[in-house]
Amino acid sequence: MRARDGVDIVTPGTLRAVSDRVEVQAREAEASFEGARFLGGLVEVEGGRVRLVAEVLDQTVDRLTQRIGRAYRFIEEVDQLRAGGIDYVARRLLELRGEHASVSADGLVKVDGAQIHVG
């Protein structure tokens, strides 16, 4: 199908395309859906810059692995983490600051270092 000034496909019913492979090339692309569902074994997104703007984002993931050169998070209200265990490792500096800080445990609390400064 070729057209010099564009092609419109309009139907009040279902528009279905079935193929072994689909390729789309365009200088710009835009899609608008009231609802969308994508199913696949692998989804890859590649780009120089990716921006996601959402009012609510819910993620359910069995495993998440991220490899990042730098990460910045700016949270205006609450950042809450609940986990079975947490293991943070810093090669050089670990710094925690706050107007108030509290560490509590039902069992052992251990502070270990070559020098410990309190106050």
Burial category of 113 from C-beta neighbours within 10 Å (exposed 0-12, middle 13-18, buried 19 and up): exposed
Instruction: Output the pLDDT for position 1.
Output: 84
- According to the model, what pLDDT value does residue 2 have? 87
CB-based contact 15:9 (threshold 8 Å): yes
pLDDT tens per residue across all 119 residues of the chain = 889 999 999 999 999 999 999 999 999 999 999 999 999 999 999 999 999 999 999 999 999 999 999 999 999 999 999 999 999 999 999 999 999 999 999 999 999 999 999 88
Domain range list for the chain: 44-78
| Model pLDDT, residue 33 | 93
Distance CA 89, CA 95 (A): 12
Q: What is the pTM of this model?
A: 0.66
Please tell me the predicted confidence (pLDDT) of residue 87. Answer: 96
